[in-house]
């Protein structure tokens, strides 16, 4: 029992330190690009760290993040930066409209709806960019398609972000952990959603190739995204 408790404590401390490291890495490399140019490659770099950890690879956070940040400094801008910038701008507009009182209720609600939609798309974008090899012009449309085709998964991502945001707002010091926790949790969830989607696609292909000797149409299951041109890096 004591050994189990010690192990749980060690694992909890390891996760806590890992989330703090992710926060520091993201903030450092975002600032290294003067925020505007740094946010997109920093996000891709942090997602890469989480994916490597989940794969069981040896992770050197600062060295690995620096390598990814340099490689993705320019390429990630058109694919990832809008997904980060648009929700931030919409949230700023919502905060401004909230200060105007009841007269701005309609505009405030419309802005909030737009923010939720943009945040749902943005939650997919960094992991999608890192995990799949797509033409740059396809990433945001594909992230939008993912958000619409998998509404349950999108809600899980948004709810996770909401819980972490509320916790950080109530206890500001948690922001040191909360930001990293968001990157870890959102990447972890996206990777599993991607794997689930690929498994479903494989099942559909296997079903389509099976002999057509059944009395009814094949069960296609839930709507899925095509495997091509999604090519895992």
Q: What is the pLDDT of residues 77-105, one digit of tens each?
A: 999 999 999 999 999 999 999 988 888 88
**What mean pLDDT is reported for the chain?**
87
Whole-angstrom distance, CA of residue 63 vs CA of residue 181: 20
**Angle in degrees, 0-180, between the axes of helices 136-149 and 76-98, rounded to the nearest 10:** 50
| Global pTM value | 0.86
If you compute the radius of gyration of the chain from its CA atoms, what whole number of angstroms results? Answer: 20
Check: CB of residue 54 under 8 Å from CB of residue 188: yes
User: What residue ranges do the domains of the chain occupy?
Assistant: 2-206+220-232
Sign (positive or negative) of CA dihedral 33, 69, 128, 229 = positive
Residue 231 — φ and ψ, nearest 5°?
-120, 115
- DSSP assignment of 119-139, as one string? HHHHHHHHHHHHHEE--HHHH
- Grouping H, G, I as helix, E, B as strand and the rest as coil, residue 36 is coil
What's the pLDDT at 218? 47
Q: Along the 233 residues of the chain, how does pLDDT read in single tens digits?
A: 666 777 778 888 899 999 999 999 999 999 999 999 999 999 999 999 999 999 999 999 999 999 999 999 999 999 999 999 999 999 999 999 998 888 888 999 999 999 999 999 999 999 999 988 888 888 899 999 889 888 888 999 999 999 999 999 999 999 999 999 999 999 999 999 888 888 887 788 788 777 654 554 444 444 455 544 454 55
Whole-angstrom distance, CA of residue 69 vs CA of residue 148: 29
Long-range CB contact pairs, 153-156, < 8 A, 24+: 153/189, 153/193, 154/120, 154/123, 154/124, 156/189
How many residues in total does the chain contain? 233
What's the pLDDT at 170? 94
What's the pLDDT at 221? 47
């Amino acid at each position: 029992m004591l050994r189990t408790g010690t192990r749980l404590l060690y694992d909890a401390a390891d996760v806590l330190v890992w989330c703090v490291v992710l926060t520091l890495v993201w903030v450092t490399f975002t600032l290294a690009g003067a925020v505007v140019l740094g946010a997109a490659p920093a996000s891709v770099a942090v997602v890469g760290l989480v994916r490597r950890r989940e794969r069981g690879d040896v992770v050197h956070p600062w060295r690995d993040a620096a390598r990814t940040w340099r490689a993705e400094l320019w390429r990630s801008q058109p694919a990832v930066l809008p997904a980060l910038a648009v929700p931030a701008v919409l949230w700023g507009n919502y905060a401004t409209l909230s200060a105007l009182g009841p007269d701005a209720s309609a505009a405030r609600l419309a802005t909030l709806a737009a923010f939720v939609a943009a945040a749902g798309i943005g939650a997919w974008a960094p992991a999608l960019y890192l995990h799949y090899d797509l033409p740059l012009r396809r990433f945001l449309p594909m992230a939008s398609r993912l958000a619409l085709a998998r509404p349950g998964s999108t809600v899980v991502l948004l709810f996770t972000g909401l819980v972490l945001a509320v916790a950080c707002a109530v206890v500001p010091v948690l922001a040191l952990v909360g930001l990293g926790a968001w990157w870890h949790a959102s990447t972890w969830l996206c990777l599993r959603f991607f794997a689930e989607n690929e498994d479903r696609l494989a099942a559909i292909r296997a079903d389509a190739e099976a002999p057509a000797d059944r009395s009814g149409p094949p069960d296609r299951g839930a709507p899925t995204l095509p495997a091509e041109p999604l090519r895992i890096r």
